[in-house]
Amino acid sequence: NSEQFNWDDYLKETESVAAPLHCFRQSRSPPTNDFKVGMKLEAHDPRNVTSVCIATVIGITGARLRLRLDGSDNKNDFWRLVDSSDIQPIGTCEKKGGMLQPPLGFQMNASSWPMFLLRTLNGAEMAPAAFFKKEPPKPVTNCFKVGMKLEAIDRKNPYLICPATIGDVKGDEVFVTFDGWRGAFDYWCRCDSRDIFPVGWCSLTGDALQPPGNNVAITKSSAKIQSSPSKVTRRSMQSPQKSAPVPAQRGRKPGRGKPPGQSAV
Ligand code: MLY
């Protein structure tokens, strides 16, 4: 499919360069993901990081796991790389002298936790220790430069990995901007964040890289649209992947690659 997003073409069209591999805290070749849906493991509660909880693998996506904490609801799933230090085999916490905790928002009475834990672990399919990979070392310095391209997790929609550009660099932090999305999803993160990946990551893991946003209807001449977005504009802001693919714009300077306009939702 020639309409599909292609990094080589996109880098040429935007006259930009990919951030070098050594900038990232990611393994050179993505770790293999041997986990299966239904397996249980221990995970730090993202909403209460000092707690180690029981989690179940709800889905597999590339080198990441979609996880849900046992005893929690289905509205707080989170994603972790198989080489994340946030996850470990069942038994690790106890071995270290710790105690498994109920997740934040445990749906039952707190007093029922010990029994819930016993029942949860009884007969559970536990992910084998060999499935957990060692977290890669931190890069020694922040070697990102403004304008470099990368693939980044959309933190508002963390199942999505998208083309992005370094918009700013400050100390150990970088400003991740999402191409074609008018700033609505941008964020600062540490340069050693596990949420950012080198160009080509998704094609190696089999993840579906999102195409850049395409707010192309919005230009300086469309002042009318700015005060009252048309249906078309709204649709293109919400889900670019559902509208007709628009080829990346030619002849633009490196950077965000899209004209200023209305911010996405
Ligand atoms: N809010 C949109 C999703 C937008 C995703 C933007 N990312 C790819 C930067 C929706 O719910 O459809």
pLDDT digits (tens, 9 = 90+) for 186-237: 999 999 999 999 999 999 999 999 999 986 433 333 333 333 333 333 333 4
Give the ligand 1 atom nearest the CA of 210: 8
Distance, CA of 15 to chain centre:
25
Q: Does 265 contact ligand 1 (Cβ within 6 A)?
A: yes
What's the one-letter identity of residue 235? R
| pTM score, whole prediction | 0.81
Q: 10 Å Cβ neighbour count for 32?
A: 12
Q: What percent of the chain has pLDDT over 70?
A: 80
Q: Does 215 contact ligand 1 (Cβ within 6 A)?
A: no
CA separation for the pair 67, 241 (Å, rounded): 25
pLDDT at residue 215, as a whole number = 64
87 closest CA partner among 61, 69, 102, 99: 69
pLDDT digits (tens, 9 = 90+) for 73-92: 999 999 999 999 999 999 99
190 has which bridge partners?
173
Radius of gyration of the chain measured on its C-alpha atoms: 21
pLDDT digits (tens, 9 = 90+) for 18-56: 999 999 999 999 999 999 999 999 999 999 999 999 999
220 C-alpha vs ligand 1 centroid, how far in Å? Answer: 23
Q: Of 247 and 94, which is predicted with more confidence? A: 94
Strand order in the sheet with 161-170: 187-190, 173-178, 161-170, 149-153, 196-197
- Residue 109 predicted with pLDDT over 70: yes
- Do residues 197 and 164 make contact, with C-beta atoms less than 8 angstroms apart? no
Where is average pLDDT lowest: 87-91, 145-149, 176-180, 225-229? 225-229
Q: Does 181 contact ligand 1 (Cβ within 6 A)?
A: yes
Residue of 176, 238, 263 to test ligand 1 pocket, by largest number of atoms within 8 Å of CB: 238
Angle at 19 between CA 4 and CA 158, to 5 degrees: 60
What DSSP element (H or E) covers 188?
strand 187-190
Q: Does 241 contact ligand 1 (Cβ within 6 A)?
A: no
